[in-house]
Amino acid sequence: MADFDLRPVSPALGAEVVGLDLSRPLDPRTVEALSAALGEHLVLAFRGQRLGDADLVRFSGAFGRLDKAPITEHGRLNAPGFEEVYVISNVVEDGRPIGALGDRESAWHADMAYLDEPPFASSLYALEVPDEGGDTGFVSTLASYDALPEGLRRRVEGLSLKHDATTNSGGYLRQGFEVPTDLRSSPGSVHPLVDVHPSGRKALRLGRRLHAYIPGLERVESEALLDEIWRHAVRPDLTWHHRWRVGDLVMWDNRWTMHRRDPFPADQRRRMHRTQIGARHTLESVQ
């Protein structure tokens, strides 16, 4: 018997996990059961937690090797003492931003999709949240694929997609990169546009829209086809948005979902700590 309850949060995807205190080490059976729950629901929300960075690292590290925090638009800004902990915040201290993504909308994306081996999951923990805005939305990329009309499904079969490495989901250029001019040679990695889930179902692997490119097509054709795919892929009825409270930890499967964030008032503080769990070779849970 698992020592937690699962309550689905929307018809689309996601479940709340009730009954676990993540500040205590989890036993391997619980980790196994959570992995299976993540495979099934794709997003897990844990509320009312009180976690320090060491707890966040231990909890997420139970699911696989943690990747280092990516470079932000302001350079490297991991939480002090924890190079695996990425800070997402609009807070400025002593004239310097403490984290990435500011207060604007962040567009639909999968985390670090521009790597050859993107993280398989991410965990985001809320330390400070605004009174309004800043909700984080999720979509299953299996549902995105299913939402394509038949003709479009045929057109995407066998195509690949180049995922841009220069710009983050807030539309900010990562420090050290330049705005891409030729998408054929700019930094990023190429992945199949259609992925096959271990269940045999197909999924769209879109990464993010900005500076994405379908190799082999003229730039204008690539833009037109991507726009058409995206129109179906993130249809509002396929999505679920999490309304944050301090102490929430939300973990998502980064292979079979994408996420985005609403903007929020610039004069309110939002501070989140994230870990990214690297491609994993054991404990495979998805059936």
Task: Find the helix or strand (DSSP H, E) in which 202 lies.
Answer: strand 202-204
Contact yes or no for 109/257 (Cβ under 8 A): no
User: How many of the other CB atoms lie within 10 Å of CB of 137?
Assistant: 18
Long-range contacts of 79-85 (CB under 8 A, 24+ apart): 79/53, 79/273, 81/53, 82/53, 82/54, 82/57, 84/57, 84/275, 84/276, 85/53, 85/56, 85/57, 85/273, 85/274, 85/275
For residue 82, the minimal CB distance to ligand OGA (Å) is 15
Task: Tell me the two tokens of residue 272.
Answer: 């989140």
Give residue number: closest CB to Mn ion.
111
- Give whichever of 162 and 261 is closer to ligand OGA, judged by the CB atom: 261
User: How many of the other CB atoms lie within 10 Å of CB of 192?
Assistant: 13
* Binding to Mn ion, residues 111-130 (CB under 5 A): 111
- Give whichever of 126 and 156 is closer to ligand OGA, judged by the CB atom: 126
Q: Which stretch binds Mn ion (CB under 5 A): 106-114, 191-199, 239-247, 278-286?
A: 106-114
For residue 182, the minimal CB distance to ligand OGA (Å) is 27
- Give whichever of 169 and 285 is closer to ligand OGA, judged by the CB atom: 169
- Which of ligand OGA, Mn ion, none interacts with 272 (beta carbon under 5 to 8 A by kind)? ligand OGA
- Which of Mn ion, ligand OGA, none interacts with 186 (beta carbon under 5 to 8 A by kind)? none
- Which of ligand OGA, Mn ion, none interacts with 261 (beta carbon under 5 to 8 A by kind)? ligand OGA
Residues that bind Mn ion (CB under 5 A): 111
